[in-house]
Amino acid sequence: MRVTFLGTGSAMPTGERFQTGVLLQEEGRTLLIDCGSGVLHRLQQSGVGYENVSTVLLTHHHLDHVADLLPLMKARWLAGEGHLEIVGPQGTKSLVDELLAVHEYMQGKLDLQLREVHPGEFSVAGFDVSAYETRHSLPCLAYRFGNLFTFSGDSEAFAGLANFAEESAILAHDCSFPDDVDVSNHPTPDTLGRELAGREIGRVYLTHLYPHTDGRHEEMLESIGAHYDGDVRFAEDLQTVSIE
Ligand SMILES: [Zn+2]
Ligand SMILES: [Zn+2]
């Protein structure tokens, strides 16, 4: 499996990190997880392109995870790739319907399949997925792909999610802010490190990074390292990780 971080930023721009998007590729199958602002451009830069993404899996409906959905639809329509499946938590159907209601000229242009999923097991774009409800300000699902890859979506750090990710080769986890930012609905390095302590995870990539984290990477890694002695790195836009 190849995991490409298309966007490792958040709702406040850093100028370098676009909003959330993760591309999974395995044996000819392709899945885009989340589609925040900038992800359409990153898809093009990645060499995969919007023409080759016909399934989008959403973690939740915050703008920084869905802002490029309509632009993706329009680009695919213009390219003659009218089919698109959008899968996400409860409310995904009405979200897409209402987005299309705002831009009436987009209605009926695409062969859209909309599917709502719940915590538990399902399959999407040929990938077997487990979903787990996170702790966030909107209903949000974390997704796990066998023992290879787990994506936290947006979430506080908590034991249930750390259990869910245990024994993944790669975990990409929200680490929005450094420790001195008082935050709920997202982790800080200290809270993340405490929940990861003692877990068996191949490597952890930190993502969903707010501008507050710029220049603070070393201290953030030290803060996690005070509790968790595994391999932790910062994800970067357009970085690809191969997982065996
Ligand atoms: Zn969110
Ligand atoms: Zn977010």
How far is the C-alpha of 210 from the C-alpha of 174, rounded, in Å?
A: 10
Whether the predicted pLDDT of 241 surpasses 90 = yes
Question: How far does residue 10's CA lie from ligand 2's centre (Å)?
Answer: 5
- For residue 62, CA distances in Å to 133, 140, 156 come to 15, 9, 15
Question: How far does residue 80's CA lie from ligand 2's centre (Å)?
Answer: 30
For 166, the token pair is: 């245990």
How far is the C-alpha of 209 from the C-alpha of 73, rounded, in Å?
A: 26
Taking residues 223-243, report their average pLDDT. 98
- Looking at every residue in the chain, the average pLDDT score rounds to 97
Taking residues 190-208, report their average pLDDT. 98
What whole-number percentage of the chain has pLDDT above 70?
Answer: 100
Q: First vs last Cα of the chain: how many Å apart?
A: 7
How far does CA 191 lie from the centroid of its chain?
A: 20
For 135, the token pair is: 């702790």
Taking residues 186-209, report their average pLDDT. 98
CB 44 within 8 A of CB 55: no
Give the closest ligand to the alpha carbon of residue 140.
1
Other beta carbons less than 10 A from residue 215's beta carbon:
9
Is 64 annotated as catalytic? Answer: yes
CB 171 within 8 A of CB 150: yes
Single pTM value for the model: 0.98
pLDDT at 225: 98
Catalytic residue among 64, 68, 174, 237: 64
Whether the predicted pLDDT of 244 surpasses 90 = no
Question: How far does residue 106's CA lie from ligand 1's centre (Å)?
Answer: 26
Whether the predicted pLDDT of 119 surpasses 90 = yes
